[in-house]
Amino acid sequence: MTSPGRRAAAPSSPLHERLQLTARNLEDRFLGRSEVIRCMLISALAGEHVVLIGPPGTAKSALARTFSKLCDATYFEYLLTRFTEPNELFGPVDIAAFREGTYRRRTAGMLPEGEIVFLDEVFKSNSAILNSLLTLLNERRYIAGGVSMRCPLLTAIGASNEVPADADLAAIFDRFLLRVRADYLDAFHFQDLLQRGWALEAAINTDAVVDPLLTADELRAAQKALTQRVRFSDTFLSAYRNLVLQIRAEGIGLSDRRVVKLLKLCAASAFLDGRDVPDASDLFLMKHVWNAEDQATILEGLVTPILEAHYREHPEARRLGAAAVGLEAIEAEIERVRAVLAGSGALSDVQLFSQLKLLGELKGALSSHADARARELGGRVDLLLDAAFKGGRFGAL
């Protein structure tokens, strides 16, 4: 638990600008996590929760911890197991009060007093803590000894290596409105990964100070003002309705409650961009409403055409993010792949597959760039793929 204490007030620039600066700060520290970061900020703005699904070692806890520092928020973090006891999360029983006939817990520094909470392996929750955790996430209340305590929780960030299969955990999974994959970085990120990862390790080892860009109170005020500030156009609501119906038609469960709450997330996404009216770009959130991981591909297929159509009309609105791979880095990686494929030695099937996979990743990265240079590089990738599949020569490519 970290309780940094309230520092001096953040600068007087508009909140959405400081939120954008917060996102860029996080993107500079955590490579390839732009969409994860945006979903996390949007969830905090809307007062909802997000769960990050992915293997260990993908900086999930470090990301949450740094976010809390940038928000100057009281932070609570815990790794759950099936043996976790309530006092580990909610605080020990107050013995002095118990001797006087009152049952209560000492919650100072514990989950009920956290503003930004990170729960690692959240789906390992056992029945002893599950009900209290559900109430706290949903109602911002913790009840002990018949006494209800109001909790200052802004957002909870869950993490898990896998989606829960146990039906008893469906309720806790449902509390996390957005479900975002946090996988290992693509191979072409490797050079930047080493540089930024080393810098992050140095910052951790020297206990570097992170200057806050906003305050938890500002976030709390923004949550309350969101529904009054943002309005929805008929065009957006029509597009949203059609997308929800398509998602349901694919057999992906999306309850009426979640449909309404997702509107709030779209409003938060617009606010983050400094807009009062959501547009089609905010529907990217619908890629992260899956209930099983195999549904993510279906959602990607439904949402991507809507986003691309919007960006064709509004190319200036395309979000690249500070961590988007630059064309220079992509070109250098294309050249490295070409050199490997054109080398004098024969490649094994495994080596060839790894290079083809990398070319596919590079092609995906180029899709976030819309200029002529990106199209030219995309053509070079296509030529390499074509030569590889036809067993051709690479030297002239």
pLDDT value, residue 168: 82
Which of 285, 317, 349 terminates a domain? The answer is: 317
Same domain (yes/no): 170, 310: no
What is the separation of C-alpha 296 from the centre of its chain, rounded to a whole number of angstroms?
Answer: 15
Q: What confidence tier does 322 reach under pLDDT thresholds 50, 70, 90?
A: very low
User: Mean pLDDT highest for which of 82-86, 205-209, 359-363?
Assistant: 82-86
Residue 243 one-letter amino acid:
L
Residue 57 Rama label (left phi>0; alpha psi -120 to 50; beta): left
Which residues form the domain of 341?
Answer: 327-390
DSSP string computed for 202-221: HHHHTT-----SS-HHHHHH
**How far, in Å, are 18, 40, 76, 293 from residue 214 at the CA level?**
7, 15, 18, 34
Residue 118 Rama label (left phi>0; alpha psi -120 to 50; beta): beta
What is the separation of C-alpha 229 from the centre of its chain, rounded to a whole number of angstroms?
Answer: 24
DSSP string computed for 264-291: HHHHHHHHHTT-SS--GGGGGGGGG--S
Instruction: Tell me how far apart the alpha carbons of residues 268 and 83 are, in angstroms, rounded to a whole number.
Output: 37
pLDDT value, residue 158: 96
Q: Counting beta carbons within 10 angstroms of the beta carbon of residue 137, is it exposed (0 to 12), middle (13 to 18) or buried (19 or more)?
A: buried
Same domain (yes/no): 343, 288: no
Dihedral sign from CA coordinates of 303, 306, 310, 311: positive
pLDDT value, residue 347: 78
Same domain (yes/no): 334, 353: yes
pLDDT value, residue 28: 83
Percentage of residues in the chain with pLDDT exceeding 90?
49
pLDDT value, residue 384: 86
Same domain (yes/no): 303, 349: no
Same domain (yes/no): 116, 77: yes
Instruction: Tell me how far apart the alpha carbons of residues 285 and 100 are, in angstroms, rounded to a whole number.
Output: 51
Same domain (yes/no): 20, 89: yes
Same domain (yes/no): 179, 245: no
Same domain (yes/no): 31, 160: yes
Residue 222 lies in a domain: no
Q: What confidence tier does 393 reach under pLDDT thresholds 50, 70, 90?
A: low
Residue 66 lies in a domain: yes
Read off the CATH number of the domain in which 138 is found: 3.40.50.300
Residue 9 lies in a domain: no
Q: Cα angle at 137 between 132 and 140, to 5 degrees?
A: 90
Lowest mean pLDDT among 210-214, 215-219, 390-394: 390-394
Mean pLDDT, all residues of the chain? 85
Whether 191 shows a pLDDT value over 70: the answer reads no
Same domain (yes/no): 34, 61: yes
Per-residue model confidence as pLDDT tens digits over 260-317: 999 999 999 999 999 999 999 999 999 999 999 999 999 999 999 999 899 889 887 7
Radius of gyration of the chain (CA): 23
What is the number of domains present in the chain? Answer: 3
Residue with the larger pLDDT of the pair 26 and 146:
26
Q: What confidence tier does 209 reach under pLDDT thresholds 50, 70, 90?
A: low
Residue 190 lies in a domain: yes
Which of 283, 317, 351 terminates a domain? The answer is: 317
Same domain (yes/no): 302, 243: yes
Same domain (yes/no): 126, 241: no
Same domain (yes/no): 158, 275: no
Residue 177 lies in a domain: yes
pLDDT value, residue 320: 57
Which of 265, 288, 317 terminates a domain? The answer is: 317
pLDDT value, residue 385: 86
Residue 356 lies in a domain: yes
Per-residue model confidence as pLDDT tens digits over 346-365: 778 788 888 888 888 788 77
Per-residue model confidence as pLDDT tens digits over 218-251: 999 999 999 888 999 999 999 999 999 999 999 9
Residue 372 lies in a domain: yes
Q: What confidence tier does 41 reach under pLDDT thresholds 50, 70, 90?
A: very high
Residue 199 lies in a domain: yes
pLDDT value, residue 8: 40
